[in-house]
């Protein structure tokens, strides 16, 4: 695999975008079609189609490894408890033996089962019965009529706004400690107090919108780091329906919409930029993402890109949580900066926290240190190739790049190199996708105000 733009500090980097291109070209004339579907709640299904080499022609191992990466990406992009493989019995059997308890993708299987409360399965079929896209995208958000509460549940503070016909009449930010509290009553009262305070500044409450880190299905909390100390038993009994229960205390039959904070960030960007087809990527403690489609809709997808593979090199760094290699978290977060530091010749004190290590590199960057610049240059190359890979799954017009990794001069270097990759390797994508770090205009619509716009009035 030959890169036209090198990842300066990582010569082994093998971008998934180039692997997709390589497979399509290699199998163009005498390959076989394969269709992968990921099915989630209510039968919603997201499909990926490509070509691979024919079964039994000496390429089975390559085919299997490639589709493993694609299937895993599809799961973490859109979510699902069912993988459907159509067109290759060989690859299908491999995926079946990989995405199972005790298999290489044990983590992914168990995570998806928890999110969707269904037993995970892999189904093999032929192309005649291949899965088809069934979308759940709906026009969520941008509703500014009436008296609305917008709540943004952060890990260190919670924000709430009272919004009347699109105008914020009250907002507050309160420090809280959800990640260190095991009693869900702490969380419940904190959320309820915030909403009651907002409600007291309006004549009535017509709708409630919530932005919160985690995974939500039908407004239920399925997985969320805010409740990391809460026992599984208490989570099941008292956390899962918490936002729904709080809304009932504010008033009967008030429509509520709960969305992942990444999606709400993308929605806020879409509202400020007055555009659609927006993928927001925040590079901070981890890689967080959100997406607003070409019709201005939130899709109901997971968008957990931290777990999506971006590097086909099986010697790439392994993520400690999922146990898998080459995933986004090790490329587009503070972990990515720390990973590259020794290759740049920067020694970081092991006693420092990850956030403190990032600050050291940022300090060097502010002083014009070329070693620090090489780190951001490398992440920029990673990112350019990865945007091209994300375009395999998302229809994108604008990429908003956020998070503390992108702050300062380092973010400018990162952006510049990413644009060079697209211009050089993927000119067709460069023509239609704009990369930008949000300016004050894009930050104008606050997270809690965007959250308030989520529900449609009854």
14, 311 contact by CB (below 8 A): yes
Measured from the Cβ of residue 193, the count of other Cβ atoms closer than 10 Å reads 15
Q: Name the percent of the chain lying above pLDDT 90.
A: 81
Q: Of 96, 207, 236, give the one whose Cα is nearest residue 143.
A: 207
> What kind of fold does domain 266-313+327-443 have according to CATH?
Nucleotidyltransferase; domain 5 (3.30.420)
CATH architecture observed for domain 147-260: 2-Layer Sandwich (3.30)
Distance CA 386, CA 311 (A): 9
Distance CA 348, CA 332 (A): 19
90, 56 contact by CB (below 8 A): yes
pLDDT over 60 (residue 440): no
pLDDT at 270: 86
pLDDT at 346: 98
Mean pLDDT of 308-315: 97
One DSSP character per residue, 335-354 reads HHHHHHGGGGT----TTS-H
Q: How far apart are the first and last CA of the chain?
A: 54
pTM to 2 decimals? 0.90
302, 215 contact by CB (below 8 A): yes
Quickly state the pLDDT bin for 136 (edges 50, 70, 90): confident
Which pLDDT tens digit goes with each residue over 176-216? 999 899 999 999 999 999 999 999 999 999 999 999 888 99
Mean pLDDT of 122-136: 94
Measured from the Cβ of residue 366, the count of other Cβ atoms closer than 10 Å reads 12
Distance CA 87, CA 110 (A): 26
pLDDT over 80 (residue 230): yes
Q: How many residues does the chain have?
A: 458
pLDDT at 214: 86
Distance CA 200, CA 424 (A): 56
Instruction: Give the start-to-end residue ranges of the domains of the chain.
Output: 31-129, 147-260, 266-313+327-443
pLDDT over 80 (residue 103): yes
pLDDT over 80 (residue 447): no
pLDDT at 265: 84
Coil, helix or strand at residue 444: coil
Question: Fold identical between 147-260 and 266-313+327-443?
Answer: yes
Mean pLDDT of 133-139: 78
Quickly state the pLDDT bin for 444 (edges 50, 70, 90): very low
pLDDT over 90 (residue 66): yes
One DSSP character per residue, 77-103 reads HH--SEEEEES-HHHHHHHHHHSSTTS
9, 378 contact by CB (below 8 A): yes
Which pLDDT tens digit goes with each residue over 324-336? 999 999 999 999 9
């Amino acid at each position: 695999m030959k890169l036209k733009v090198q990842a300066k500090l990582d010569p082994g980097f093998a971008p998934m975008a180039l692997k997709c291109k390589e497979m399509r070209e290699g199998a163009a004339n005498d390959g076989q079609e394969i269709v992968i579907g990921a099915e989630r709640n209510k039968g919603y299904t997201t499909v990926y189609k490509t070509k691979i080499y024919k079964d039994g022609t000496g390429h089975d191992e390559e085919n299997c490894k490639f589709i493993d990466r694609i299937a895993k990406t599809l799961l973490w992009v859109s979510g699902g408890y069912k993988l459907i493989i159509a067109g290759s019995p060989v690859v299908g059997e491999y995926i079946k033996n990989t995405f199972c308890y005790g298999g290489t993708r044990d983590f992914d299987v168990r995570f998806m089962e928890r999110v969707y409360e269904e037993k995970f399965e892999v189904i093999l079929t032929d192309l005649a019965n291949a899965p088809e896209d069934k979308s759940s995208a709906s026009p969520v958000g941008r509703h500014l009529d009436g008296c609305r509460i917008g709540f943004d549940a952060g890990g260190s503070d919670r924000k709430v706004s009272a919004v009347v016909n699109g105008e914020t009449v009250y907002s507050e930010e309160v420090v809280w400690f959800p990640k260190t509290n095991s009693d869900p009553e702490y969380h419940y009262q904190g959320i309820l107090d915030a909403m009651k305070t907002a409600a007291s500044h309006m004549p009535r409450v017509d709708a409630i919108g919530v932005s919160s880190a985690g995974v939500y299905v039908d407004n239920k909390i399925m997985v969320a780091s805010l409740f990391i100390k809460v026992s599984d038993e208490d989570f099941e009994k008292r956390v899962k329906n918490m936002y729904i229960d709080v809304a009932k205390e504010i008033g009967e039959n008030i429509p509520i919409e709960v969305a992942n904070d990444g999606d709400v960030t993308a929605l806020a960007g879409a509202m400020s930029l007055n555009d659609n087809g927006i993928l927001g990527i925040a590079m901070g403690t981890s890689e967080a993402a959100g997406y607003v489609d070409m019709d201005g809709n939130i899709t109901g997808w997971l968008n957990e890109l931290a777990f999506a593979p971006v590097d086909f090199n099986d010697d790439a760094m392994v993520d400690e949580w999922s146990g898998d290699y080459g995933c986004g978290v090790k490329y587009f977060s503070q972990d990515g900066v720390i990973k590259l530091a020794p290759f740049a010749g920067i020694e970081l004190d092991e006693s420092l926290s990850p956030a403190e290590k990032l600050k050291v590199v940022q300090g060097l960057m502010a002083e014009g240190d070329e070693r620090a610049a090489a780190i951001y240059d490398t992440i920029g190359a990673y990112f350019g190739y990865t945007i091209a890979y994300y375009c395999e799954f998302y229809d994108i017009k604008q990429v908003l790049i956020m998070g503390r990794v992108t702050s300062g001069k380092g973010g400018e270097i990162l952006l510049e190199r990413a644009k060079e990759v697209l211009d050089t390797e993927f000119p067709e994508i460069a023509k239609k996708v704009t990369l930008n770090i949000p300016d004050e205009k894009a930050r104008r619509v606050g997270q809690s105000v965007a959250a308030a716009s989520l529900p449609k009035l009854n």
